[in-house]
A and B are shown apart, each in its own frame.
Chain A
């Protein structure tokens, strides 16, 4: 096929499908961006879950400065159709405690059955109910990633979940991951201390890292260790095994209460008892001795000890450096330039860890601009950016295919077993099997609606067709394609093959 025939063919296909084309992005009337269109597209590829025609048009219209201000305040409303789709979910309608109480009741009644077959069936039903809840959470996360106007917030939500990782298949965490994630979303651009305190009191974290087992005389160090190693200071920050043990003592008694029934305590302890939602601090399980860690003296007094330690950890220089570096790894480069990290740390110190400001410092750096287009997409960036490119603002009706692609690519939502979270670097993802699977998924997305528009209970997809030959492609992507990619696309035998090859191209693997 010649270079010119293909767009004609695609236009014909689009017209046949009853589609209209949108006006070009570069129409001069409403442009405030001073950058070339393709550079703006590259900027969006980095700061969002992938550029879409609509997001590129918006950025062109308002310019980078206003766009960034809006992103960092994250107050843009969701569209009514997205809002409507989310409001049908159980996790949107019930709070966490109510959900978990109901699930616990179901679990107990299943366990109480005496007939083996009936018990197995009831236990299976319980597992399926848990599956449904975590699947709903994944649906919400993917819809927001693909369609929320607050794209930096959505990217940070993913980042914080991964930083404070929990795994859905431990205990009943499938009922909790949606709530846990939503709390991270609303704090994503706030102060780090808020994020840290939130995770330290959330039942999902307290269960995942076994702090519910941690009691005076029966120390479980799991959470204490990861709190220092992964959540705050970083492994090389110079803390000792003794610091871990002392922090574990601070954390004794902090756990979960899944029944709603409070323990009977002596009057002296009763005043120190705390029960919020599913979180419970049980003073009868707490080690009230004084503690010494990281140069800090902590007077044994109850749950307040933890706040004192979290204040120290959140403001520790090692934390600012460790978390800034990890942010830069996620948003700039596998090996972040030290000067860039240094500027982020400075901003962190000036603003007491205000993440919006740390992000602003990062994005405003020359190293950030220089890195655009060089970072290898992780699986979720690959999948969501493909959907955003192909469907723009048209809402998918079924995220099931996206979830199963993420499973195939090894980065399913809430499915990292270990507390270190999914890897942020290219070497973890750019493997032969991974690329092969991406090409297959490129074909699935490029050649039809791929199940994304199949409503549950219906046999075929509602009418939908991926439209990759769109304004974003012509103005934002095509100018950045290497000659080999252009040649290959020119030789595509059909619009479907053209779309497949574009999504399979090396340029589309990068952001």
Chain B
């Protein structure tokens, strides 16, 4: 290479890096950096069989075959959280301790105004987080806008956003490049270190140079973080699998590098035979909650800087259907977890469930808009200005539920 070319390359490099860089050059996120993980339950989970309105006889009338027994009423009964709500036994051992430590809250009657009851339509709407009505921009998700808003802070940002999914989800799409890697099945990379070096050499003078080296960096970091996994697992009495394994891997990356994460869990569309205190839905809830408990544990000291929100596109019908399942509804219950939470509360607007208070006499109403709720959390967690919040959720008014 001629000297002139080298100089040109060097001059061009910082620009290329700043526009495509995934992870800050100075490696780990600092201890105090807030971390946020969004867990999206795709398929619309049945909130009323997780957060059970046990003191309301209407619940038991509406669900003769699938209701979760009230506290004290059966061997497998719900655990009272307050005078109105109880927690399903399927999650008692994993979420109970978090609730007791004040690290868990629920926001019932949460969701988005969309009433299409279409999974795709409503998932998209939530992931995009744009104002209702008007044309939607499918290349601008609210988490990407959040990442951009945080990156624009005056203080040096160490923000590193990543989707722990096969593809970058809608909510993380946008102008800011983000990394993605599913952590379910981590094979050993087929491209060896020397081949990676050879490939980087081929790309050195191209517009893809920073992406290629950044991509290998992410890959190697994931591999390194996971290297201790086998050893750690062998010390555990019970090995982790399924979502718990994924959640542990997510925690390893979020503890060290990633501060804004996304993961989704599918299979919640329980139209048929969903079960009650036990059964199909209870099994899913157990797996999910064990994963979240594992995540909290694996985050270690960083758990105190971490907030997790679990949400679903909409809720399900309050009454069971003719197939011992539930159909597409409206309002849901969002979970908020975090080491620094002022939790152990059922937060947000509530009503007493009765035929007359159900939305269209069938579903939980939406009383707590997802954009207001998440905006309020983000404002507390990062101290975002009104202008920044408006960039993340245009036209929405953030509502602080006092959870952080």
Contacts and interface: CB of A to CB of B under 8 A. Distances in A.
Interface of A: 116, 119-120, 123, 167, 170, 229, 235, 407-408, 410, 417-418, 420, 423, 428, 430-433, 435-436, 439-440, 443-444, 482, 484-485, 487-488, 491-492, 497, 500-501, 504-506, 509
A428 B175 CA distance: 10
22 contacts: A170-B120, A407-B166, A408-B166, A418-B120, A430-B208, A431-B180, A432-B179, A433-B168, A435-B211, A435-B212, A436-B191, A436-B219, A439-B191, A439-B195, A439-B199, A440-B190, A488-B198, A488-B199, A488-B201, A500-B191, A501-B198, A504-B191
Nearest to B203: A506
A424 B13 CA distance: 27
B215 interface: yes
Given A491-B198, A500-B195, A410 B324 contact: no
Contacts of B195: 439, 443, 497, 500-501
Contacts of B190: 440, 443-444
Contacts of A432: 20, 22, 177, 179, 211-212, 214-215, 218
A123 B191 contact: no
Contacts of A408: 166
A433 B215 contact: yes
Given A432-B179, A432-B215, A436-B216, A484 B124 contact: no
A435 B215 CA distance: 7
B324 to A, nearest CB: 7
Interface in B166-195: 166-168, 177, 179-181, 189-191, 195
A410 B273 contact: no
Contacts of B233: none
Interface of B: 20, 22, 120, 124, 135, 138-139, 166-168, 177, 179-181, 189-191, 195-196, 198-199, 201-206, 208, 211-212, 214-216, 218-219, 272-273, 323-324
Of the candidates B135, B167, B189, B272, the one having the most CB atoms from chain A within 10 angstroms of its own CB is B167
Contacts of B201: 484, 487-488
Nearest to A420: B138
Nearest to A423: B139
Contacts of B199: 439, 488, 501, 504
Contacts of A444: 190
Interface of A, helix, strand, loop or mixed by DSSP: helix
Contacts of B124: 417-418
Contacts of B324: 116
A412 to B, nearest CB: 10
Nearest to B190: A443
Nearest to B209: A506
B208 A433 contact: no
A435 B324 CA distance: 46
A173 to B, nearest CB: 12
Contacts of B135: 229, 235
Nearest to A170: B120
A116 B201 CA distance: 59
Contacts of B204: 484
B202 A484 contact: yes
Nearest to A409: B167
* A-B pairs with lowest CB-CB distance, top 6: A432-B215, A116-B273, A410-B167, A436-B215, A443-B190, A433-B180
Given A120-B273, A435-B211, 12 more contacts: A116-B272, A119-B272, A431-B177, A432-B215, A433-B218, A436-B219, A439-B196, A443-B190, A443-B195, A484-B201, A484-B205, A492-B198
A423 B174 CA distance: 12
Contacts of A497: 195
Contact of B166 (A119, A167, A410, A487): A410
B179 A123 contact: no
B202 A488 contact: yes
B122 to A, nearest CB: 12
Contacts of B179: 432-433
A120 B274 CA distance: 11
Contact of A506 (B167, B208, B219, B273): B208
A335 to B, nearest CB: 15
A167 B167 CA distance: 17
